[in-house]
Amino acid sequence: MALALVAALIAAGGLATITASRSKPLGMASTQVAVDLSPQSVGALWQGRDDTKLKFEATTPPVVSIHALAQPAFHKAQVMNQRCSKRRTDPGSEPDFLLIGVQKGGSTGLYNYLAKHGDVRSASCKEIHFFDINSNYEKGKTFYLRHFPSISEELRGQVITGEASPSYLRFPIVPLRVKNMFTKPLKFIVILREPVMRFKSHWVGRRVVMMDIGKSSCEDIWEQSVKEIEQCLERESLEVCHKKLHENPAMRGIYKPQLEVWRQHFDRDQFFVLQSDAMFKNLNATMQSVVEFLRIRPYTEAELASFTTAYTGSAHHSDPLINECGHLTEAMKAFYDRFTGGLREFLVREFPNTLLQPSAPTNWLR
C-alpha cells in the first residue's frame, strides 16, 4: 500500500511539496516526499489514530483536486473522532454542508463515505459541536472555521468541506445560529433511522461508551422518557414539548417537530433527507445521490470500492446489551406510531430532495 501511494504521489507531480504535518489537507504532490511510510505509520493513519507519523501538508495551493491519485481520498481515509479540540493554524474555509442528524442514525458512516470522495475535504473531526455547545459557540466564527481546511477561491465549488454533528437537528437554537453566521446558502443532510432502533442504539451507546446512565435499565430509561413527554403533552403542543425536551432520549426519535424548526429558517432546496434503510440497502446509489445534491462530480469506481474500508460507527445495534430492550419493542412501536403518521407526506411536501424506501407495511416510514 505504501509503495502504491508513493507512486501515485509522484505521478501527480509538481504543484506542491509534502512535508510532515497532518494539520492541513493533502495537495497535489511533487516528487519531494518527506513522510514516514512504514507499515506502522500507514496502519495508524488508516485507523484514524493521532500518533501516526504519516502526515501531509501542501505548501501551495492549499487544496487541489486529486483525481489523478490512485486512492483519491487516502488523505482522509477515516474520520473516527467524534468530538475534537484539534484546529488548524490556517484561517480555514466556511463549510459547504452540515450533516445535522440524527444521532444514532448512521451519520458516522455517511460522513466517512463522503470523506472517500476525492473532492470532499473533511473537518479536523467529524463532530465539532460548535452550534449546540455554548462554550464552543462563544469562541466565535474564527474558532469554528479553523476546524476546516483552507480552500482556494479558484477551487470553491469543485472542492467542498463540511462537518457532521448529528445533535444539531434537535437543538432549536442551532438553525438560528447557523443562519446568523453564514450568508451563503449551506446544504443540510439529514439521515433518519427507525425510531425504536434509534432509541435502543442510543441507550446502549450511553450505557457502554458514556457510562452516564449507570446501571439504569433500558426499561427504566424508556419509561422515564415517555412519562416526561406524556406529562408535557397534557399541557403543551408537540412543538413546544420538543423545544423543552429536546434532550429527552425518546423525544429524539420524534422527527417532525425537529425538522419543522429547521424548515422555518431555510429553503426546502437546501435539505437532503434520506432514510437510513436506503443507505444500508443500496449504499453506492445512495451516496451518488448525496454527492449529486452537493453538486460535485459522481464517485469514481475506485472511490466506491474504498467504501469497504470506511469507519461506519459504533454498531451498538449488534451489542448484546440491546437485548435488554427487546421486551419493550412493541410498546416502543406503538408510542412512535402516534408521531410517524403523516411523516412521509410531510417529508415529500417540505423536502423535495428526499431518498426514502418504498412505502410498505414493513417500512416504519409509511
Q: Inform me whether the pLDDT recorded for 77 exceeds 50.
A: no
Q: Please write the tens of the pLDDT for every residue from 135-158.
A: 999 999 999 999 999 999 899 889
Q: Inform me whether the pLDDT recorded for 231 exceeds 50.
A: yes
Q: Are residues 317 and 268 in the same domain?
A: yes
> What domain range is 64 assigned to?
1-70
Distance CA 226, CA 5 (A): 53
Contact 306, 73 (CB under 8 A): yes
Question: What pLDDT score does 335 carry?
Answer: 98
Question: What pLDDT score does 224 carry?
Answer: 95
Question: What pLDDT score does 201 carry?
Answer: 92
Q: Are residues 282 and 349 in the same domain?
A: yes
Domains held by the chain: number: 2
Q: Is 366 within the bounds of a domain?
A: no
Torsion, Cα 271 276 278 283, to 10 degrees, reads 100
Q: Inform me whether the pLDDT recorded for 62 exceeds 70.
A: no
Distance CA 44, CA 80 (A): 12
Which CATH number covers residue 187?
3.40.50.300
Domain boundary among 42, 70, 98: 70
Q: Inform me whether the pLDDT recorded for 64 exceeds 90.
A: no
Question: What pLDDT score does 265 carry?
Answer: 97
Domain boundary among 70, 96, 131: 70
Q: Inform me whether the pLDDT recorded for 189 exceeds 60.
A: yes
154-158, 225-229, 324-328: range with lowest mean pLDDT: 154-158
Question: What pLDDT score does 260 carry?
Answer: 97
Q: Inform me whether the pLDDT recorded for 70 exceeds 50.
A: no
Q: Are residues 324 and 226 in the same domain?
A: yes
- More confident call, 340 vs 81: 340
Contact 96, 160 (CB under 8 A): yes
Q: Is 363 within the bounds of a domain?
A: no
As a whole-number percent, the residues of the chain with pLDDT over 90 amount to: 64
Q: Inform me whether the pLDDT recorded for 211 exceeds 60.
A: no
As a whole-number percent, the residues of the chain with pLDDT over 70 amount to: 73
Q: Are residues 80 and 52 in the same domain?
A: no
What average pLDDT does the chain have? 80
Q: What is the reported pTM?
A: 0.78
CB within 8 Å of 275: residues ≥ 6 apart: 191, 192, 193, 355, 356, 357, 365
Question: What pLDDT score does 210 carry?
Answer: 56
**Within 10 Å of residue 148's Cβ, how many Cβ atoms?**
25
- Binned at pLDDT 50, 70 and 90, residue 81 comes out as low
Question: What pLDDT score does 75 carry?
Answer: 35
3-state SS assignment for residue 9? helix
Q: Are residues 350 and 206 in the same domain?
A: yes
Q: Is 294 within the bounds of a domain?
A: yes
Per the structure block, which three cell numbers stand in for 337? 406510531
Mean pLDDT, residues 94-107 taken together: 96
Question: What pLDDT score does 36 carry?
Answer: 35
Q: Please write the tens of the pLDDT for every residue from 7-16.
A: 443 344 433 3
Question: What pLDDT score does 320 carry?
Answer: 85
DSSP of 17-56: -B-S-SSS------S-B-----HHHHHHHHTT-TT-S---
Q: Inform me whether the pLDDT recorded for 28 exceeds 60.
A: no
| E-state strands within the chain | 97-101, 120-122, 160-164, 187-192, 271-275, 354-355
Domain boundary among 13, 36, 70: 70
Q: Are residues 189 and 220 in the same domain?
A: yes
Question: What pLDDT score does 314 carry?
Answer: 74
Q: Are residues 110 and 1 in the same domain?
A: no
Q: Are residues 131 and 43 in the same domain?
A: no
Q: Is 31 within the bounds of a domain?
A: yes
DSSP 8-state code for residue 271: E
Distance CA 104, CA 250 (A): 12
Q: Name the β-bridge partners of 234.
A: none
Q: Which among 24-28, 36-40, 254-258 has the top mean pLDDT?
A: 254-258
Q: Work out the angle at residue 18's Cα, subtended by the Cα atoms of residues 12 and 22, and round it to the nearest 5 degrees.
A: 120
